[in-house]
Amino acid sequence: MSTITVFCHSGCAREHKPADYHASVLENLPFVYKMTVQQGNILTAETVAELTTGMTKRQVSFLLGTPLLSDFFHQDRWDYVYTIRRGHLPMEKHYLTLHFQDEVLVKIAGDVKPNAQPAVTRETPKSTIVTVPDYETQPGALTRGLKALGLEPKQ
């Protein structure tokens, strides 16, 4: 293999990109659309408020889903991670660590805090009745044009 071929192949194998790396010059312009990217288990204050010590692993799994990170050496510790990047805004990261003892939840730690109001005492939303008026047909542009010319379209 020639020296040029080795240099060409090794140039593409760079693992770490520089801190000022951008895929495109236009990437950070405000009018360029960047889609929202979510990863991990969605962690909200409402779901964390429903967690209580004494729940079984199965109940926690039903509420939050299976943990994103599982450690073979610490099977009584579940780590949930949720990240979301909305457009050009910085990435939000949320962590939740649950500790179990004898298959029962004993400790909850993380940066997602439950609402100050317990889930049981929150009011359920009241139903709202909306009255929608009957549909009235509007004449189209062609019908209005024919009427303006004095020609009535056939119904």
Give the pLDDT confidence score for residue 58 in this predicted structure. 92
Give the pLDDT confidence score for residue 73 in this predicted structure. 85
Give the pLDDT confidence score for residue 123 in this predicted structure. 64
Give the pLDDT confidence score for residue 118 in this predicted structure. 53
From the list 107, 48, 53, the residue with the least C-alpha distance to 76 is: 107
- Tell me the HSE value of 41 on the side-chain side, using a 13 A CA sphere: 22
Q: Against a cut of 0.85, is the pTM above it?
A: no
* Mean pLDDT, 10 residues at a time, the chain of 155 residues: 50 56 69 84 86 90 85 86 87 90 91 63 73 82 87 72
Dihedral-angle region of residue 57 (phi above 0 means left; psi in -120 to 50 means alpha; beta otherwise):
alpha
Report angle CA 93, 96, 98 to the nearest 5 degrees. Answer: 165
